[in-house]
Amino acid sequence: MTKFFTTAAGVQIEIVPVPPLLIEAVRLQAMEEVEVPLIPTYEVELADGTKLPYEHDKDSITDPNTTDAERRAWAEYQAALADQQKHSSTKMMDLFMVRGTIIDEEVINSGQWKVMQKYFKVKLPEDPFDLKIHYLRTELLTTTDDIYGLMSAIMELSGIDKNILKAAKNSFRGNLRTEQDATTGVGGEEQPKQEGEMAHQLPL
């Protein structure tokens, strides 16, 4: 049965499953693209004078004996982990938009939307995959909840493990919240939050 995701504006987007192995391959590649420093360590001296290194964690880093250098290294490590997670989530969102949606190429390549965006001197991507993502994000998905809802619908359709699905949803929502904070919506105003939904019917 053909499945569609319905946006807050009532637009239906056909969705299909994305192979789990492809999802994992894209996720791992994205993780490798962000360099994360080694976990900062500290030393514990034993009774015989031997010093053993231990990796810092959220508890040890707050110890009064922790040096300023170790705290700086821990902050850099945490920041790198956050960047890595954000980059991975972004790449996976791109994958779901490219691989998990079916959109008429003629609409993407020669639709009225391009005429309008060119009129406002919006720079359009030349790569066909980037163009499809741009079309989805700037024309069809009009709210952050649309994007989140589409990602969730495709992941569920792809049969992703529930625990992984929950973690991925939280990551996507965090990414979208960051984007919304950066743009504060269109024209400096908050966009209305409306949930998209799954629909099992042909588009009008």
H/E stretch holding 164 reads helix 162-183
DSSP secondary structure string for all residues of 92-149: HHHHHHHHSEE--HHHHHH-HHHHHHHHTTPPPPSSHHHHHHHHIIIII--SHHHHHH
Does the model's pTM come out above 0.75? yes
- Rounded Cα–Cα distance for residues 94 and 132 (Å): 10
| pLDDT tens digits along 29-73 | 999 999 999 999 999 999 999 999 999 999 999 999 999 999 999
| pLDDT tens digits along 10-20 | 999 999 999 99
pLDDT bucket at 161, cuts 50 / 70 / 90 = confident
- Residue 191: how many CB atoms within 10 A of its CB? 17
